[in-house]
A and B are shown apart, each in its own frame.
Chain A
Amino acid sequence: MRVRFWGTRGSIPVSLTWRDVRDRLAQALVAANGQSLDTLEKACEFADRHLGFSLARTFGGHSACVEFEPGSDEYFVCDMGSGARAFGAHVLARQAGREATINVFMSHMHWDHIMGFPFLGPAYVPGTRIRIYGCHAVLEHAFRLQQDPPCFPVTFDQLAADIEFILLTPGETATVSGVRVTPKLQQHSGASYGFRFEANGKSFVYTTDSEHKLEERSQTEEFVQFFRDADLVVFDAMYSLADAVSVKADWGHSSNVIGVELCQMARAKRLALFHHEPAYDDAAVERIFAETRRFEELTRAEHRLEVVAAYDGLEIDL
């Protein structure tokens, strides 16, 4: 199973400014002083080897959209944040005129998780089948609402694709084109749902916009079971733990520390920090990533958890 991140930012899309780009370029030029970088290949190799992630790359700014490939001709994707536009372009390019079937799993319908759908290219292509799965009764209403006037020039009914909405039941495993899917209720304003996907002996948990209050041991145990032995857990690590339990309590998000602890208890293999705080620049996210890996080392018992920080364009093979 391959997991591909099209959007990893929380709450609202962000982008680099001209100052960010200029400053990075200047730092890179200084770092390259004295090097003989007379081809693009040499320059790219230098950037990859000698410049840090937050200088040579970016975590990206698209809001939530994560694709996974279970080994099927159909497409599977979680959430329709702004990353869905690039995901749609990828589908069209890969299909090369052939009709596509896209299975969408919606954590919830807050704006940052649906805003990419009106820009999903395949939705405008006759013959495309789009099945949108979720647990909210207002699932279809939300998708239609955001394309109603005066918010968008193309109404939902004008889309050419065959679009179907399918409600799943939390805690009940469904099978979607060979993939076992189990939704789980999460704590978030208006409720959100995490999904555990299982196919071909691999398991992937998508759990974003989920607050962990730490008040009830039983709630913690529920998530440990949900994450149990997962090959990958994509986890809402938007806030620091201190913020999450104090000034940002009840804001519906979690922290890197909780992500590590739950994954350690569940013996998950890999944790991807996700839903990055939009106020953080790349250096801040990179720092949090390094601290999270250190926290995993500090708290490791016999089980080693691999920690990654998700970025737009990251692909992980499970």
Chain B
Amino acid sequence: MTMNVTLSQRSYASSTVVAPAGRLDHDNCEAFREALQPLLQEGARAGGGIVFDLSALDYVSSAGLRCFMIAAKEAKTLGSKIVIAAMQPVVAEIFQISRFNLVFDTFLTVREALVTLSPDSAAAYGRE
């Protein structure tokens, strides 16, 4: 992605953890959306849910939040689910002000998020 946000992904049993890092804004949200597509497909194929680990995301604009919303709809269509974990304080405030905290299930840690999605995934995460 030619942008100041990067994207990494790891699998834990049937669940997938997707971790964007940097700043997600109007300039890079479309590239971010495109980069998400194969990860959403892969996550759905694995059968479990998808955790967005936002611990390395410094900032998200309205356009970035919209990307999350669209990804959640796409995941639902694929029979999967996206939850949010480990937000930095600024991003957590942006979620609260925009009311995205009412749209997504949010968790303080990736482990807590995985526990709600699948015990196997949480166990796999714990073995790292």
Which residues of A approach B to under 8 Å, CB–CB?
Answer: 214, 217, 220, 240-243, 245-246, 255-258, 261, 291-292, 294-295, 298-299
Contact = CB atoms under 8 A, between A and B. Distances in A.
Given A220-B26, A242-B99, A294 B93 contact: yes
Contact of B62 (A217, A261, A298): A261
Contacts of A240: 98-99
Given A214-B63, A242-B103, A298-B90, A255 B69 contact: no
A255 B66 contact: no
12 contacts: A242-B99, A242-B100, A242-B102, A242-B103, A246-B69, A255-B62, A258-B62, A294-B93, A295-B94, A298-B93, A299-B59, A299-B61
A246 B63 CA distance: 13
- 10 closest pairs, A vs B, by CB? A240-B99, A241-B98, A242-B99, A291-B97, A295-B97, A242-B100, A242-B103, A214-B63, A214-B66, A257-B98
Contacts of A242: 65, 69, 98-100, 102-103
Interface in B19-77: 26, 30, 59, 61-63, 65-66, 69
User: Among A242, A257, A258, A294, which residue has the most Cβ atoms of chain B within 10 A?
Assistant: A242
Contacts of A291: 96-97
A274 to B, nearest CB: 18
Contacts of A299: 59, 61, 94
A245 B94 contact: no
A258 B94 CA distance: 12
Contact of B97 (A214, A217, A292): A292
B97 A294 contact: yes
B93 to A, nearest CB: 6
A73 B97 CA distance: 43
A214 B63 CA distance: 6
Interface in B90-128: 90, 93-94, 96-100, 102-103
Interface of B: 26, 30, 59, 61-63, 65-66, 69, 90, 93-94, 96-100, 102-103
A242 B99 CA distance: 6
Contact of B61 (A255, A261, A292): A261
A217 B100 CA distance: 22
Given A241-B62, A242-B98, A256-B97, 18 more contacts: A214-B66, A217-B26, A220-B63, A240-B98, A240-B99, A241-B65, A241-B100, A242-B100, A242-B103, A255-B62, A255-B98, A257-B94, A261-B26, A291-B96, A295-B94, A298-B94, A299-B61, A299-B94
Given A242-B99, A291-B97, A257 B26 contact: no
B3 to A, nearest CB: 13
Given A257-B98, A295-B97, A245 B90 contact: no
A295 B66 CA distance: 17
Nearest to A254: B62
A257 B62 contact: yes
A240 B94 CA distance: 12
Contacts of B100: 241-242
B26, B62, B93, B96: residue with the most chain A Cβ atoms closer than 10 Å:
B62
A246 B99 CA distance: 11
Contact of B103 (A217, A246, A257): A246
A214 B66 CA distance: 8
A181 to B, nearest CB: 29
B99 A243 contact: yes
A217 B33 CA distance: 14
B31 to A, nearest CB: 12
A217 B31 CA distance: 12
A210 to B, nearest CB: 14
Nearest to A242: B99
A295 B95 CA distance: 10
B82 to A, nearest CB: 14
B90 to A, nearest CB: 6
